[in-house]
Chain A
């Protein structure tokens, strides 16, 4: 890489951008599924940070990414099941309609 910036430095900037876009997506959209996709995007940005830091701190970062991925898979399964359950009850996936937890 020209100058003194390495690929890991650029990866950190990319991951900050991806996380920011994910946050903006969560705030911007009402569709529960798209909000959920933005959460996955943020998790992937964090994985990128961990891999970038494993370039200076050793392989533990990559092992942590493995655990993050397992948790993300479990979260996706449970979250989508919750969305399906809500859709059965309300017939919409608009997040503004679900302001109460009971019912």
Chain B
């Protein structure tokens, strides 16, 4: 099936891209591979019936946040890989063993009960709701009704972040 093929394509792209993110010396290359990873994850969101989240991921992560990263790299003039920032053998050993340990624990819990995640009635109910209310409405409606207070608090959080960023990035008066 084409959907399964695309799913595995995006999954492989995300994993390979993220490995490239942490192994490239040049920060600009890392940022560009991270954009690839975010696009692949957006494809996975799309195939998991999260259409609005997929669009948001492309606009917010692959668009806005990554441009911010590139802008800071440009501003600080770090675009050339003049110094290697990889840690030594001890750090690599620590990183590798932490990764293996974490993965072991995660897979142990993932496969403990076998395949179980997708629930057929829930999936078909979700698809029916998306068809009925639209891909945006199905997320936006609960946001403005049931989750009104957290939604407003998010706005407050963003305001605080804006003020904090301006305070931090402002040049001190001489």
The interface of chain A, by Cβ under 8 A from chain B, is 1-14, 16-25, 27-31, 33-34, 36-38, 40-41, 44, 47-48, 51-60, 62-63, 65-67, 69-78, 80-85, 87-88, 93-94
Contacts and interface: CB of A to CB of B under 8 A. Distances in A.
Given A27-B98, A73-B60, A59 B47 contact: no
A70 B158 contact: yes
Contacts of A67: 150, 154
A24 B22 contact: yes
Given A12-B117, A27-B95, A37-B21, A17 B15 contact: yes
Contacts of B129: 59
17 contacts: A3-B115, A7-B3, A11-B44, A16-B106, A17-B18, A25-B95, A28-B22, A34-B85, A41-B18, A48-B45, A58-B125, A63-B142, A66-B139, A70-B154, A74-B158, A80-B68, A83-B72
Given A24-B96, A27-B94, A93-B78, A14 B165 contact: no
Interface residues of B, number: 83
A14 B56 contact: no
Contact of A65 (B49, B50, B154): B50
B72 to A, nearest CB: 5
B18 to A, nearest CB: 4
B132 to A, nearest CB: 13
Majority SS at the chain A contact face: helix
B23 to A, nearest CB: 8
A83 B164 CA distance: 13
